[in-house]
Structure 1
Amino acid sequence: MLSLRRAEPADSDRMFTWRNLPHVAVHQYSDHVISREEHDAWFARAIADPRRIYWIIQDDGDPIGLANLVDIDEKNSKCSWAFYLGAGDLRGKGIGSWVELKVLDHVFLELKLNKLCCEVLTSNPGVVRMHRRFGFQEEGLLRHHVRKQGQFLDAHVLGLLRDDYLQQRDALVTMLRERGVQAE
């Protein structure tokens, strides 16, 4: 059974390991091995920042990944999000789709924000397709936005509005159930 729980200080070591895994790091903006000191400073800021929420993705209670909201802006009713799975062999099993539905529900049904944004490197087309399946619209392309391994990469800017999500939520739940993903 999949679940989300809030990240806590005891998760710092696990997150440090995950952030440096090659299959996770390849899709992040950073292009270096994250040092312990760098991670510890980031983690302290991240957990203390009220404009961020970090969840540990769990499968039958076992931590398998991270989902987060950043730049929560109540005045403008928006935030951004991202997620990753710690084990590469978990991709393609519907876990990302489950996480996406749960995060969208939190943003639009609990926080009642108007917009959810994300940026995805063009080198990660599977995640772009997944976001589009959930109703995200392409809002722009950030050209040469990130330098990784000496090459500049572009990033998609995607956004989803609350009204658009609410209109299609039932269809998304049905789609996930048909794919064998526990949607609620």
Structure 2
Amino acid sequence: MSEFTTRPLDENNLELVRHWRNLDHVRTRMATQNLISQEEQKAWFSRINKKQAEHHIYSLRGVDIGSANISAISTENGTFEAGIYCGNSDYLGHWVNIAASLFIYDRAFYELGLTQSTAIILDDNRAALNLNKSLGYISCGRHSDHIGKYTLSRDIYEVKSQGIRKVIARNMLSD
């Protein structure tokens, strides 16, 4: 049986996350695609307002796979943004990345009590577009020429995530 775990991002993980973020298969799928220096990463980490963001490392059987986060948290409006990326290229396309998505959305919707997520996604990021569509995101306009805006309500996520949970459970048992 599989062991999916998460842990909060801390100073000990910063270099790992920076390394992942700078990999071509991650960086080229981001709205901001510049390479990040150690100094920039440390400055970013020191700026994080822990009341408005959470960053996690997710792992499978003790192997670090990627990063999942909740940001732009507004408890007043019940809104947030979520992000995930698989830094470990051995796990691209693996079910563990979908499990990490469910972890981060469950955390935001059920533990933090938020009600709506927004996302911006590059038009050519098929993996993110397909995952977000399966979670129930709907298009709500354009962020820029090559980036779409999407929204997801907790109610829609509740319904859409049920089928995904069954697939993840089967994979966890057989892996």
CA distance in 2, matches of 1:31, 1:97: 23
What's the TM-score, normalizing by structure 1?
Answer: 0.85
Partner of 1:45: 47
1:158 pairs, out of 146, 150, 174, with 150
For structure 2, the residue ranges without an aligned partner over 5 or more in a row are none
Q: Which AA in structure 1 matches 2:9?
A: A
Q: Which AA in structure 1 matches 2:43?
A: A
CA distance in 2, matches of 1:86, 1:62: 11
Partner of 1:109: 110
What's the TM-score, normalizing by structure 2?
Answer: 0.89
The number of equivalent residue pairs is: 171
Q: How does 1:134-149 map to 2 (within 5 A)?
A: 134-144=135-145
Q: How does 1:48-127 map to 2 (within 5 A)?
A: 48-127=49-128
CA distance in 2, matches of 1:171, 1:16: 33
Partner of 1:18: 20
Deviation at 1:176, TM superposition (A): 3.0
Which structure's residues are more often helix, by fraction? 2
Deviation at 1:108, TM superposition (A): 1.2
Deviation at 1:129, TM superposition (A): 0.7
3-state DSSP of counterpart to 2:77? coil
Identity %: 24
For structure 1, the residue ranges without an aligned partner over 5 or more in a row are 145-153
Preserved CA contact (<8 Å) 1:2 1:60: yes
Deviation at 1:106, TM superposition (A): 0.9
Preserved CA contact (<8 Å) 1:140 1:156: yes
Preserved CA contact (<8 Å) 2:29 2:122: yes
Partner of 2:164: 172
CA distance in 2, matches of 1:6, 1:66: 10
Preserved CA contact (<8 Å) 1:98 1:181: no
3-state DSSP of counterpart to 2:85? strand
Deviation at 1:16, TM superposition (A): 1.7
Deviation at 1:181, TM superposition (A): 4.4
Q: 1:168 to 1:28 in 2, by over 3 A?
A: closer
Q: 1:138 to 1:44 in 2, by over 3 A?
A: same
Q: Which AA in structure 1 matches 2:148?
A: H
2:7 pairs, out of 5, 8, 12, with 5
